Structure 1
Amino acid sequence: MRMNTHYSELKESYLFSEINHKVATFKASHPDADVIRMGIGDVTLPLCQASVEAMKEAVDEMGRAETFRGYGPEQGYDFLRDAIASYYAKKGVALERDEIFVSDGAKSDLGNILDLFDSQNTVLIPDPVYPVYVDTNLMAGRRIQFLKATVENQFLPMPPAGVKADLIYLCSPNNPTGAVYNRDQLAQWVAYANDQDAILLFDSAYEAFIRDPSLPRSIYEIPGAKTCAIEFCSFSKTAGFTGTRCGYTVVPKDLTRGEMSLNRMWLRRQTTKFNGVPYIVQRGAAAVLTEEGIRQAQQNIAYYMENAAIIANALRGLGIWFTGGENSPYIWMQCPEGYDSWKLFDLLLEKARVVGTPGAGFGSCGEGFFRLTAFGRREDAKRGMERLCGVYPR
């Protein structure tokens, strides 16, 4: 038997598994420690009421013979796909129902989409980056070229001259850095991808956190994007579905390569390998996109962004350079002189009882930086920053 030896190229453990192990070890030796978690980007506010009520009604439907549903369409029920299309229309983007594919979250689709592409393709990935982009391509044995994201380019790398790529990952607002591309910058990426005959894999999981109306919330707001881009989005951070699981991927019909339609390929892949998202969950997701659901979800997002402002103001008071925190729930801060990111992690855990995410876990260019998230409770954001300010090296 031959095994996929590319798995041996992966790090021993996923970044957040390593963080959880360190925290568990610390708590085992300090059982009374009050540890404030500001590292993993998991939400803490409950689902909006519109979504809860819709799911309760859907549960009742499933309990009656006349309204019971078995297998649903793998690509999603029409009522949710139509709601998503209407949501995009408010951004000025026209989508057809069958260009939208409902999934159990952006993370799954970001990995599964690679089924459509040859393993010999070259992949262009920013560094630092969400680890899933790198690991799923390493598993497949693809050749990866990294784009350096640095202070000098505000952690928003642009198309590299003289570099040929087949697949390109972009995330805006970015995880982990919180940086956001403007229209002109994304227009350059779209032009580059179309010129290269490449595919942009655009992760817009945090689009609902954008507050600046001049910033694009979908790659399809950029002319020419439908011939080169696939967009991934999620209800996880927008509406608290991290434990409920629902997202969607947009594959335009205009996106073709040679004789192959990526829309038809993805439909074939999903109908073969995916059984669809539960009806109850899809009803809850559709309720998020109603007028009342959007209002309620935006209240939760505003709460998180107030947490981000508390974190950002504390860092400004310390004179620390950072990105994010304005159109993103992530704050990407520079480590103090003499500290690498894991050393700062250990300091904050041991002295402040605060957990963040070391930048080195997101790539070599992440070393020297540290990620904090705004997804916690308000009191924890305040106490966490008071503690950080008390131990931060001057």
Structure 2
Amino acid sequence: MSITQKLATSISSSSSSFLAPSNFSSRRQNVSLPTKSVSIPKCVATPQEAQTAYKTRVSRNENMAKLQAGYLFPEIARRRSAHLLKYPDAKVISLGIGDTTEPIPEVITSAMAKRAHALSTIEGYSGYGAEQGEKPVRSAIASTFYSDLGIEIDDIFVSDGAKCDISRLQMLFGSNVKMAVQDPSYPAYVDSSVIMGQTGPYLKDVEKYGNIEYMRCNPENGFFPDLSTISRPDIVFFCSPNNPTGAAATREQLTQLVQYAKDNGSVIVYDSAYAIYISGDNPRSIFEIPGAKEVAIETSSFSKYAGFTGVRLGWTVVPKRLLFSGGFPVAKDFNRIVCTTFNGASNISQAGGLACLSPEGLQAMQEVVGFYKENTNIIVGTFESLGFKVYGGKNAPYVWVHFPGRSSWDVFSEILEKTHVVTTPGSGFGPGGEGFIRVSAFGHRENILEACRRFKELYR
């Protein structure tokens, strides 16, 4: 081992020891002090000095102050931690944050392990890769998900996840745009828009930000907005299957959306992170719709496909035919954003992504997805047996349960307090989510069954 390697190993070992959980006891020790009097100089601060912290001359980003409370999922985690302090012996079951729970299939992890081990050899070592992703991975994504849709390798940008790409896309479009978003929808769309300075202040009376078009999606309209009532936005964020409602848009609905974008000169950012859960004829990609390549970007992820929530790998498709108003290709600017802010997805993660798209990997992913869909059937059946109106579950790993006339945070608190089960309050996804809770199907089977048993005890 070289001196450099030994030094790196020593630093890593020291850092690990420093960061590792400690059993250190803060109990006061009996220490024998010398009896000789020692003169200790006193450092006395004036009251003003004691109370005033040093401040820089850098102003806070005023847009950060617009954000309301904490980001939804850390807030749920905070309340879960507080609940555990109150009930330290409770077996808390988390069906709130949409994090996968089942092991990644071995056909995928073995490919990552092989790539990781190769990095320890001269022949297998690789440093920085292409910011856009390795060509074999991009090629596999194109042939697996976009066969016969006119999407080429150069249209695909591999990333560290769809959520990260959402922020990069917001950076791409800048602050002088107006955004439309489904209501309810994944909160990252709105929060990143606020941070970018695209919005006005938060309007407490209607629980919305100014300069955002909230497209109400509810059971009455089949969870697809009435586009005729929407004023012209520049960017339309649309997620199908939707998080949190679980609704998957039909081919007819997406055709309407593409035509709406063309009529208004808007750009659709289409989030297909749950497309693998779709059964039936609902489109899995916006590019199945004629004309979509002229008005749409699609972002997706391996997180919920293969359990890559911690591995981090996703992709975004920006077709060459998508142009700004002046005729400049959107893909060229996105490529510049990616090259400026990103050094490319982990080569180990990309090895896993390539294995996901092999015949064996695709079959393994479908089996895991099938397991989660069985979980949704159990949850849906439980709430329906209790007389609740239930949506979602069929094409997504989320179940959207209606509690009419009730505050969704109150329902969240009631369920947590009385059953020790964590859900997600619907209002955290926008004002249209009030009166609903989202129950995630990501969980071990025994936890799903136990949670449903507790739901029945509470609501029967």
Q: Secondary structure at the match of 2:298?
A: strand
1:294 aligns with 2:362: yes
For residue 272 of structure 1, what is the aligned residue in structure 2?
A: 340
How many percent of aligned residue pairs carry the same amino acid? 43
For residue 332 of structure 1, what is the aligned residue in structure 2?
A: 400
For residue 322 of structure 1, what is the aligned residue in structure 2?
A: 390
1:149 aligns with 2:217: yes
Structure 2: give runs of 5+ residues left out of the alignment: 1-57, 199-210
Mapped to 1, the partners of 2:174 and 2:356 lie a distance apart of 36
For residue 162 of structure 1, report the CA deviation from its aligned partner. 5.9
Query: Counterpart of 2:314 in structure 1: which amino acid?
Result: G
Query: Structure 1 stretch 69-78 or stretch 341-350: which is displaced more?
Result: 341-350
For residue 307 of structure 1, what is the aligned residue in structure 2?
A: 375
Q: Secondary structure at the match of 2:270?
A: strand
Query: Structure 1 stretch 74-83 or stretch 327-336: which is displaced more?
Result: 327-336
Do the aligned partners of 1:158 and 1:185 also contact (CA within 8 Å) in 2?
no
Q: 1:35 to 1:336 in 2, by over 3 A?
A: farther
Alignment deviations for residues 149-203 of structure 1 (CA, whole Å, 9 cap, x no partner): 2221122214234611110010000001101100000000000101111000000
Q: Secondary structure at the match of 1:160?
A: helix
Q: Secondary structure at the match of 1:152?
A: helix
Q: Secondary structure at the match of 1:45?
A: coil
1:77 corresponds, among 117, 129, 134, to 134
TM-score, normalisation: structure 2:
0.83
1:138 aligns with 2:194: yes
Q: Secondary structure at the match of 1:180?
A: coil
1:377 aligns with 2:444: yes
Mapped to 2, the partners of 1:390 and 1:3 lie a distance apart of 49
1:121 aligns with 2:177: yes
Do the aligned partners of 1:102 and 1:249 also contact (CA within 8 Å) in 2?
yes
For residue 353 of structure 1, what is the aligned residue in structure 2?
A: 420
For residue 386 of structure 1, report the CA deviation from its aligned partner. 1.2
Query: Structure 1 stretch 292-301 or stretch 13-22: which is displaced more?
Result: 13-22
Q: Secondary structure at the match of 1:126?
A: strand
Q: Secondary structure at the match of 1:256?
A: coil
Do the aligned partners of 1:171 and 1:204 also contact (CA within 8 Å) in 2?
yes
1:60 aligns with 2:117: yes
For residue 205 of structure 1, what is the aligned residue in structure 2?
A: 273
For residue 336 of structure 1, report the CA deviation from its aligned partner. 5.3
For residue 135 of structure 1, report the CA deviation from its aligned partner. 0.4
Mapped to 1, the partners of 2:381 and 2:117 lie a distance apart of 47
For residue 36 of structure 1, what is the aligned residue in structure 2?
A: 93
Do the aligned partners of 1:124 and 1:167 also contact (CA within 8 Å) in 2?
yes
Do the aligned partners of 1:109 and 1:249 also contact (CA within 8 Å) in 2?
yes
Query: Counterpart of 1:18 in structure 2: which amino acid?
Result: E
Q: Give RMSD over aligned pairs.
A: 1.2
Do the aligned partners of 2:213 and 2:230 also contact (CA within 8 Å) in 1?
no
Mapped to 2, the partners of 1:154 and 1:189 lie a distance apart of 14
1:7 aligns with 2:64: yes
Query: Structure 1 stretch 247-256 or stretch 149-158: which is displaced more?
Result: 149-158
Do the aligned partners of 1:125 and 1:144 also contact (CA within 8 Å) in 2?
yes
1:93 aligns with 2:149: yes
For residue 240 of structure 1, what is the aligned residue in structure 2?
A: 307
Larger RCO: 1 or 2 (CA < 8 Å, sep 6+): 1
Query: Counterpart of 2:153 in structure 1: which amino acid?
Result: R
Mapped to 1, the partners of 2:284 and 2:423 lie a distance apart of 27
For residue 223 of structure 1, what is the aligned residue in structure 2?
A: 290
Mapped to 1, the partners of 2:300 and 2:351 lie a distance apart of 17
For residue 268 of structure 1, report the CA deviation from its aligned partner. 1.2
Do the aligned partners of 2:373 and 2:397 also contact (CA within 8 Å) in 1?
yes
Do the aligned partners of 2:241 and 2:396 also contact (CA within 8 Å) in 1?
yes
Mapped to 2, the partners of 1:250 and 1:211 lie a distance apart of 23
In our comparison, the structure showing a higher alpha carbon Rg is 2
Mapped to 2, the partners of 1:151 and 1:80 lie a distance apart of 39
Q: 1:282 to 1:368 in 2, by over 3 A?
A: same
Q: Secondary structure at the match of 1:260?
A: coil
1:108 corresponds, among 150, 156, 164, to 164
Q: Secondary structure at the match of 1:215?
A: coil
Q: Secondary structure at the match of 1:72?
A: coil
1:187 corresponds, among 255, 260, 284, to 255
Structure 1: give runs of 5+ residues left out of the alignment: none
1:21 aligns with 2:78: yes
Do the aligned partners of 2:213 and 2:231 also contact (CA within 8 Å) in 1?
no
Query: Counterpart of 1:303 in structure 2: which amino acid?
Result: F
Q: Secondary structure at the match of 1:303?
A: helix
Mapped to 1, the partners of 2:309 and 2:214 lie a distance apart of 29
Query: Structure 1 stretch 223-232 or stretch 315-324: which is displaced more?
Result: 315-324
Mapped to 2, the partners of 1:119 and 1:89 lie a distance apart of 31
Do the aligned partners of 1:106 and 1:234 also contact (CA within 8 Å) in 2?
yes
Q: Secondary structure at the match of 2:269?
A: strand
Do the aligned partners of 1:76 and 1:276 also contact (CA within 8 Å) in 2?
yes
TM-score, normalisation: structure 1:
0.97
For residue 12 of structure 1, report the CA deviation from its aligned partner. 2.4
Alignment deviations for residues 10-57 of structure 1 (CA, whole Å, 9 cap, x no partner): 012111111111111111121110111111100001111121111111
2:321 corresponds, among 239, 254, 259, to 254
Mapped to 2, the partners of 1:38 and 1:67 lie a distance apart of 41
Query: Structure 1 stretch 241-250 or stretch 61-70: which is displaced more?
Result: 61-70
Q: 1:311 to 1:62 in 2, by over 3 A?
A: same
Query: Counterpart of 2:158 in structure 1: which amino acid?
Result: V
